[in-house]
Amino acid sequence: MKWIYRILGVTVIVMLILELFNQAWYNVFLCLLTLALFAIPSFIERTAKINVPNVLEIIILFFIFAAEILGEIRDYYTTFQYWDVILHTTNGFLCAAIGLSLINILNDSPKFAISLSPVFVALFAFCFSMTVGVLWEFFEFFMDSFFHTNMQKDTILPNGKIDIGLIDTISDMFVNFIGAIISSMFGYFYVKRNYPKSFMRNFMLTKAIENGEEIEPELLEDTEEI
């Protein structure tokens, strides 16, 4: 895990130095943002006392690198037609899994007396993912409006007119919707069937380590449904 982080980190730092020489200040900002985002999983583990699975952390690191360095700086969004689609679909899946994890941790807390049904948990995960997707589209609109970027990707339509980001925004939200639906469905069966070997465990945040022993995640039980 550490060597993946180091390779990606060194790559971003090299890119940062090159962009400094080129005086491409926006790209410099993206490199610094990428390095800051790389530190989030470790920061969450230390401060919130939550374990981030290695598989999830690796995917998050590659996702950030693919979005900011390859997508924005190397312009993969325009070079590869489906680059944006793949990233937004992945984002929908990951955010739903994280939302599922958060409510799972809350449900296991002794301070939370009600056991939530698998349907409610899956619905929460879906809504959490869609909310993150919408907030990201707000961010893209803000950056394009105030900093004159082109995150919403203007498109020339067949009739010769220029779409100023509506198609990109709706497409992003739609594929985010698909990713969220898929993740929520798998999450529902993960919770419903209480299946410990499900691949969804690779995407589930768990409680921190106490007394040197890892706390096993307690799956939700359909005892008192909402």
The 10s digit of each residue's pLDDT in 122-159 is: 999 999 999 999 999 999 999 888 988 888 887 777 88
* Of 60, 204, 41, nearest in space to 121 by CA: 204
- Residue 81, both tokens: 């037609």
Question: Residue 112's pLDDT is what?
Answer: 66
Percent of the chain with pLDDT over 90: 58
**pLDDT digits 0-9 by tens, 171-198:** 999 999 999 999 999 999 888 876 667 7
Q: What is the mean pLDDT of residues 151-169?
A: 81
Question: Residue 17's pLDDT is what?
Answer: 97
224 neighbors 114 (Cβ within 8 angstroms): yes
State pTM to two decimals.
0.85
Residue 211 clears pLDDT 50, i.e. is over it = no
**pLDDT digits 0-9 by tens, 23-40:** 999 999 999 999 999 999
Q: Degrees (nearest 5) of the Cα angle 206, 111, 185?
A: 45
* Residue-wise burial string across 176-205, b where 16 or more C-beta atoms lie within 10 A, e elsewhere: bbebbbebbebbbebbbeeeeebebbebbb
Q: What is the mean pLDDT of residues 5-13?
A: 96
Residue with more model confidence, 211 or 52? 52
Question: Residue 182's pLDDT is what?
Answer: 96
**pLDDT digits 0-9 by tens, 69-121:** 999 999 999 899 899 999 999 999 999 999 999 888 887 776 765 678 889 99
Residue with more model confidence, 127 or 217? 127
Residues 6+ apart with CB under 8 A from 43: none
Question: Residue 114's pLDDT is what?
Answer: 66
Residue type, 93: F
CA 187, CA 124: separation in Å to the nearest integer? Answer: 11
Question: Residue 76's pLDDT is what?
Answer: 94
CA 50, CA 35: separation in Å to the nearest integer? Answer: 21
Residue 57 clears pLDDT 90, i.e. is over it = yes
Distance of CA 11 to the CA centre of its chain: 21
Residue 226 clears pLDDT 90, i.e. is over it = no
3-state class (DSSP) for residue 191: helix
